């Protein structure tokens, strides 16, 4: 059965992407090993997964191969004529400018601009990316709220503790310095009879 041509773009499904990564990574490392054995070549391969996990293969020493590559690169640049270096730098600058332009276009699309030229698949990809970003923002917001609530609760506990200590100190001070001080009983104050004189009549006259 003839396999169809694989489209060179990021696989959106996380499971399919992980399976493809594992298969192609193993195939790449196997090919590197075969190349080093069959052709007596010095081969070094470094691969970082999307989660930052390192996979590597080296036919000798990884550091030695990297040092050799650095030395060779410096020699290659120093051996080129100024005109050749200028052409290469212009080519690299153009490539970087193209990448920046693509990133700016993608950024504008995320902001809802320039969507008229997008295909249906690109719109689905943008929607998926925005949903993931929104989910991350909500998780971050919830975490921040919980953190703030925890800080306020801790502050409340500290204030209550300080308030209790102040009450205790005031009580101790009154017991030592003013033991004869009598605090009026609220209930007794409420039960006290208040005598009033009520007179009805013209001013200047009094009831006999």
For residue range 33-87, what is the model confidence (pLDDT) as tens digits? 999 999 999 999 999 988 888 889 998 888 888 888 888 877 666 655 667 767 8
The answer to whether the beta carbons of residues 41 and 59 sit under 8 Å apart is: yes
For residue 153, being part of any structural domain is answered with yes
Per-residue H/E/C for 117-146: HCCHHHHHHHHHHHHHHHHHHHHHHHHHHH
Residue 188 pLDDT more than 70? no
Parent domain of 87? 81-118
Residue 187 lies in a domain: no
Q: Which residues contact 122 (CB under 8 A, 6 or more apart)?
A: 109
Check whether residue 53 and residue 97 sit in a common domain: no
Output the pLDDT for position 204: 56
Task: Assess if residue 197 is contained within a domain.
Answer: no
Q: How many domains does the chain have?
A: 3
* Tens of pLDDT, residues 58-67: 988 888 888 8
On whether the CB atoms of residues 57 and 87 are closer than 8 A, the answer is: no
* pLDDT higher at 82 or 89: 89
The pTM for the full model equals: 0.36
Whether 181 maps to a domain, the answer reads: no
In-domain check, residue 202: no
Q: Are 130 and 161 contained in the same domain?
A: yes
């Amino acid at each position: 059965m003839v396999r169809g041509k694989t489209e060179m773009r990021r696989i959106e499904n996380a499971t399919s992407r992980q399976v493809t990564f594992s298969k192609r990574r193993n195939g790449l490392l196997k090919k590197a090993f075969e190349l080093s054995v069959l052709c007596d070549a010095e081969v070094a391969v470094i691969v970082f997964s999307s989660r930052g996990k390192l996979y590597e293969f080296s036919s000798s020493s990884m550091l030695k191969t990297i040092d050799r590559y650095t030395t060779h690169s410096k020699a290659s640049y120093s051996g080129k004529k100024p005109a050749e270096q200028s052409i290469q730098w212009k080519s690299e600058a153009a490539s970087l400018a193209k990448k920046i332009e693509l990133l700016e276009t993608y950024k504008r699309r995320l902001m809802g601009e320039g969507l008229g030229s997008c295909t249906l698949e690109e719109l689905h990809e943008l929607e998926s990316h925005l949903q993931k970003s929104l989910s991350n923002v909500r998780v971050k917001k919830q975490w921040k709220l919980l953190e703030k609530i925890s800080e306020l609760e801790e502050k409340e506990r500290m204030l209550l503790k300080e308030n209790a200590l102040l009450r205790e100190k005031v009580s101790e001070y009154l017991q030592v310095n003013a033991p004869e001080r009598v605090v009026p009983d609220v209930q007794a104050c409420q039960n006290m009879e208040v005598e009033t004189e009520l007179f009805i009549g013209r001013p200047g006259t009094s009831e006999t």
